[in-house]
Structure 1
């Protein structure tokens, strides 16, 4: 009997988790026994994320060779990221939230409220200083402490400086570079072991979510879920499709290339779960390691298209829940706020919910509204994480072609070999 592949195992874990959650709805035993499975898996993922991003950026930057080349690549990368995330916010805010009014006509008493105390605490930490302080804090005073806390932006900053320093050393820096190459390879290999427990982790995560909030509790929020996923799909097809066509990337072929990783990300609602595999496939697809190691990890902090769509829709949804009519100027202000706060998603414990809470406070919207979204955040996060990963992978190919470094021969050989293997 042929062994089931990892994506099929994960899908089975997802299905069985939903079934268990529905059958044992409101049964505290489900959380008692299944939550450790999800917690262990997520801890394993978080354990390898920082070392992978750290070593990958160091290797990528050192491989680029000089600051002038990095400056050109960095400018193009940030420019593309900013355009993509701004369009994502516009799509969520103006094309879907205002067109479909997901929060209008909802009876708030029927909604299951989640616990948002931890997000409020994190948001208060964010608001202790201004956005200037946020920028200042990107520069770490203790890189080991930043790594321990999982603060990606300070880690990225330190990694870039270290990579530039190794490159500036020339031949003397080669032993250090070789160490990081070996270390990066070891971390990628470690992920293979971590992913073996992914089906159990997915089973635990979804099982607890469904048993806690129940399938019925999702009905009043169904409009938000449908609207958000419609926005995800439209953005995915139209924006990514047009960008792929503009830079002559075979869109359907590229989706097939990453289908296993996208299934993994969707099932776990974690963009980090597929980071090593995505980077490995991009290199085989024809992108140089130096660009992949620079664009993809930095994209996790600055190119969060799915999260931008989600936060734009969720903000207007909460305003509509409370009957707040936001004027065009107020929505433009909200868009500008989201353009700033979305850049800090990966650097804040709690992710999109924490940043959304900060955005609501800045826009003067009721913070209590987040309690109604917290219960279904895992379901919405499945889609936004998938969009984020695909957007960063496509960005690596776009930047590679923009830099005229795409290896067409390697790409052709890999596609032929992959199709033959299938």
Structure 2
């Protein structure tokens, strides 16, 4: 498939999915029938998502190990890692702050006047009990690399890859050069498989959109339209900030990057998953000219620690729920909540419906009813689409900026071939 045609086909699939979903919703005689019809669409989208997920583990491992090993010296890894984490923390704080400011400005939850006492007994569909600091810390480190690959635990794969890549970098010999070459070829093979899988992208996107609209209908968008509009306005402001900062470092080439990431952006938006966009984002960064060794290291880290869209949603959702239940939060409490979200959100990698789980876990800390999450669950699908797309934008810009500036500042040797050469023999050195 022509890569230039794919974004257009995905856009067309979104439109057709909305129309077919609306027709299916109206055709269904009751909610159970609508869910049954949606399940058939969901089967198609689930197959596509599974095809995408089968690529991610091997691709992250191969590219990250090669990226670390080819950087050669540990000082380059630590320097780039420090720059990446500094960017991620700053971007997280800005994302939360934008969400906090907008939700206080628009007051979307004011006037709902939810009963705080009645809601206390309402069932909650999200289990946040297991989400705590201890479980997060233990979750970071894999019990088994095979298990991490099987479950697509990106953060655990990143941890193992860092150890593996560092060891490969230190043990420079004939055997390790063979391993390095094999992993380089593996990454190329996975990118080729990605091209095959992307042929089914329009079909998967159509099915995902049709399934969501079949169950919820367009009426849900009308009822919650103002809240959704405010959230997407916040995402638009965040995009302008991210592209503005990118312009300071990359100049006009930031617009070239914007064009290159259109395809992964639309994939993430339409499937509500930034994971689906990972392979294409990596390809877009390579076409942009970002140092492959650096981007192979930074992008997987970003998928675990740099979730800009999710961060803004969390601040937006918590304050919205507080407003709905007429709970006043002081500036100090809101600032404390912002810092809490910034820390707890770093543990969302690998957690299903991660942002919703973080919100549900944060509510009791500020004496807000956990059942308040039900107010946003109904439209979480539409929030998730924006969250996923924004995560792709944030990670793409972060990776491009850090890779370019690291190369410009001499952290990486631009002329380095990226090959691991075997140690010289004693006779040769003599």
Please give the secondary structure, in 2, of the residue aligned with 1:44: helix
Does the alignment pair 1:235 with 2:238? yes
- Report how far residue 406 of structure 1 moved: 8.9
* Alpha-carbon distance in structure 1 between the residues aligned to 2:306 and 2:4: 33
Does the alignment pair 1:353 with 2:356? yes
Cα distance change of structure 1 residues 36 and 177 upon mapping to structure 2, 3 Å threshold: same
* Alpha-carbon distance in structure 2 between the residues aligned to 1:159 and 1:252: 32
Correspondence for 2:300 among 274, 277, 297:
297
Correspondence for 2:104 among 93, 98, 101:
98
Q: Which residue of 1 aligns with 2:11?
A: 11
Number of aligned residue pairs: 396
- Report how far residue 161 of structure 1 moved: 0.4
Correspondence for 2:309 among 288, 306, 310:
306
- Give the structure-2-normalised TM-score: 0.86
* Alpha-carbon distance in structure 2 between the residues aligned to 1:347 and 1:3: 30
The 8 Å contact of residues 296 and 392 in structure 1, kept in 2 or not, is answered as: yes
Please give the secondary structure, in 1, of the residue aligned with 2:146: helix
Q: Which residue of 2 aligns with 1:416?
A: none
The 8 Å contact of residues 288 and 400 in structure 1, kept in 2 or not, is answered as: yes
The 8 Å contact of residues 102 and 317 in structure 1, kept in 2 or not, is answered as: yes
Cα distance change of structure 1 residues 104 and 206 upon mapping to structure 2, 3 Å threshold: same
Q: Which residue of 2 aligns with 1:413?
A: none
Aligned residue runs from structure 1 range 393-404, under 5 A: 393-404=396-407
Uncovered stretches (5+) of structure 2, i.e. residues with no partner: 26-30, 116-121, 415-430
- Report how far residue 54 of structure 1 moved: 1.6
The 8 Å contact of residues 116 and 374 in structure 1, kept in 2 or not, is answered as: no
Q: Which residue of 1 aligns with 2:221?
A: 218
Please give the secondary structure, in 2, of the residue aligned with 1:141: coil
* Alpha-carbon distance in structure 2 between the residues aligned to 1:398 and 1:251: 9
Correspondence for 1:57 among 56, 64, 81:
64
- Report how far residue 166 of structure 1 moved: 0.5
Does the alignment pair 1:82 with 2:82? no
* Alpha-carbon distance in structure 1 between the residues aligned to 2:237 and 2:273: 21
- Report how far residue 76 of structure 1 moved: 0.9
Uncovered stretches (5+) of structure 1, i.e. residues with no partner: 411-422
The 8 Å contact of residues 7 and 262 in structure 2, kept in 1 or not, is answered as: no
The 8 Å contact of residues 304 and 348 in structure 2, kept in 1 or not, is answered as: yes
Instruction: Summarize deviations over 1:297-325 as a string: whole Å, max 9, x none.
Output: 11001111111111110111111111111
* Alpha-carbon distance in structure 2 between the residues aligned to 1:10 and 1:194: 14
Q: Which residue of 2 aligns with 1:386?
A: 389
Please give the secondary structure, in 2, of the residue aligned with 1:99: helix
Please give the secondary structure, in 1, of the residue aligned with 2:129: helix
Aligned residue runs from structure 1 range 93-172, under 5 A: 93=100, 95-106=101-112, 117=125, 119-120=126-127, 123-127=128-132, 131-172=133-174
Please give the secondary structure, in 2, of the residue aligned with 1:346: coil
- Report how far residue 345 of structure 1 moved: 2.2
The 8 Å contact of residues 287 and 405 in structure 1, kept in 2 or not, is answered as: no
- Give the structure-1-normalised TM-score: 0.88
